[in-house]
């Protein structure tokens, strides 16, 4: 079961750094992430001795953190690393800067090639989440565990649907206010759905169905805000995995501390004294212990992943093991690294392909890397050196 979680975790990062990351970097970060960084997160949340675990003999703040299926240790863990890698790796060529390194007035969209396949992938993930969330109860033999698994399935459905509708229609309203034209962005719907799924992953066994719906609605807004912030700070995420997984995971862990009801917590975890903060206010106590444990859990995931993986990724980048050659990126990694075109674009790309073949035949690939995504078309060492690094140029 944990192998499946680790697989999901590594694929979060792969989407963010797509189209510019070396294959060896994928293998190196995946091995270190799944072999060391993630197991520590999983242990902290779910092991009997984990310092965040609600099954610990002396749980944090007397209650421990509640996360049924991994909004924190799985999705936030992957999302934080995705953010770290996106910052160090830099944006794709042509996303925020032109070939002379000058910033665009408006960032250039680099859309996916098939909305139909995007939707297919989204529905595959949604379907798989019914193994992810209800499956995290581990057993359904007893009536209590069966009811928790059933509640998790219901909340999974509600969170996904609410996130999709929330993100799409909120985006439509904002677009209408900005341009006067109403459009319906299917990418917002898909990513809003996934953010809703991520957010409801932690609380799916401890909140009422109405709260699962509310969590999904807010998750749609979390996605839109996170996606906007990435563009504002010129951080290139090819599939918006950072707002989906880091943003959605953060909100899911917080939402568990807000919306978890006493009866649901008792059935799922045996917790009776410390419940969701909104319910605590309802019984006149304002007990912040569960909410406090959830906040500590968020800070732990961010600190642990960024603190360990940040230097690791920086070292890979320093030794030129992270980003592909600019010309290889321009040609497309399907051709330059995977021995064949994914699309029928040879005629449009023939000049760059010929240039790449010539460089490889003379072993003149530019081994320097742009760490900002800014490339210059000034010629450096000869007629084929059209993708000089901006840092080289200034030097």
For residue 52 the two structure tokens come to 């965040």
Whole-model pTM? 0.89
Separation of alpha carbons 331 and 335, rounded Å = 7
CA 47 to the chain's CA centroid: 24
Mean local confidence (pLDDT), 276-292: 94
For residue 218 the two structure tokens come to 């807010």
**pLDDT above 80: residue 352:** no
Closest listed residue to residue 78, CA positions, set 316, 243, 228: 243
Contact in structure between 221 and 247 (CB atoms under 8 Å): no
Give me the pLDDT at residue 365, please.
57
When the pLDDT of each residue in the chain is averaged and rounded to a whole number, the result is 89
What are the Cα distances from residue 78, in Å, to 8, 192, 390? 9, 18, 30
Q: What percentage of the chain reaches a pLDDT higher than 70?
A: 90
Separation of alpha carbons 140 and 147, rounded Å = 8
Across the chain, the runs of DSSP E, i.e. the strands, are 375-376, 388-389
Contact in structure between 90 and 370 (CB atoms under 8 Å): yes
Separation of alpha carbons 30 and 32, rounded Å = 6
Confidence of residue 342 (pLDDT cuts 50, 70, 90): confident
Separation of alpha carbons 208 and 226, rounded Å = 26
Give me the pLDDT at residue 385, please.
42
**pLDDT above 90: residue 345:** no
Read off the pLDDT of residues 2-52 as tens digits, 9 standing for 90 and up. Answer: 999 999 999 999 999 999 999 999 999 999 999 999 999 999 999 999 999
Read off the pLDDT of residues 122-150 as tens digits, 9 standing for 90 and up. Answer: 999 999 999 999 999 998 888 889 999 99
Mean local confidence (pLDDT), 167-190: 95
Tally of CB atoms within 10 A around 18: 16
């Amino acid at each position: 079961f944990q192998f499946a979680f680790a697989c999901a975790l590594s694929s979060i990062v792969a989407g963010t750094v797509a189209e510019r990351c070396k294959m060896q970097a994928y293998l190196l970060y995946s091995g270190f992430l799944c072999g060391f960084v993630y197991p520590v997160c999983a242990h902290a949340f779910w092991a009997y001795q984990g310092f965040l675990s609600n099954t610990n003999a002396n749980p944090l703040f007397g209650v421990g953190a509640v996360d049924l299926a991994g909004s924190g240790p799985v999705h936030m863990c992957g999302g934080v690393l995705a953010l770290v890698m996106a910052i160090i790796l830099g944006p794709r060529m042509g996303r925020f800067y032109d070939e002379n390194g000058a910033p665009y007035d408006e960032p250039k969209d680099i859309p996916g090639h098939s909305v139909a396949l995007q939707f297919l992938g989204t529905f595959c993930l949604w379907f798989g989440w019914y193994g992810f969330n209800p499956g995290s109860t581990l057993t359904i033999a007893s009536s209590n565990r069966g009811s928790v698994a059933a509640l998790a399935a219901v909340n999974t459905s509600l969170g996904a649907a609410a996130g999709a509708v929330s993100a799409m229609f909120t985006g439509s309203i904002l677009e209408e206010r900005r341009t006067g034209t109403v459009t319906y962005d299917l990418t917002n719907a898909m990513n809003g759905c996934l953010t809703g799924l991520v957010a409801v992953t932690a609380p799916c066994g401890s909140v009422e169905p109405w709260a699962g719906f509310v969590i999904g609605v807010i998750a749609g807004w979390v996605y839109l805000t996170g996606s906007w912030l990435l563009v504002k700070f010129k951080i290139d995420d090819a599939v918006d995995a950072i707002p989906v997984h880091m943003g959605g995971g953060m909100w899911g862990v917080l939402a568990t501390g807000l919306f978890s009801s006493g009866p649901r917590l008792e059935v799922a975890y045996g917790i009776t004294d410390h419940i969701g903060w909104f319910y605590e206010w309802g019984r006149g106590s304002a007990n912040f212990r569960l909410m406090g444990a959830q906040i500590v859990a968020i800070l732990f995931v961010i600190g642990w992943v960024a603190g360990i993986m940040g230097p690791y990724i920086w070292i890979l980048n320093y030794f030129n093991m992270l980003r592909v050659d600019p010309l290889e990126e321009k040609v497309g990694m399907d051709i330059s690294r995977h021995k064949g075109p994914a699309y029928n674009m040879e005629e449009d790309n023939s000049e760059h392909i010929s240039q790449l073949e010539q460089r490889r035949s003379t072993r003149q690939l530019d081994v320097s890397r742009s760490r900002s995504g800014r490339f210059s078309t000034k010629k450096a060492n000869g007629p084929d050196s059209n993708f000089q690094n901006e840092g080289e140029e200034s030097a």
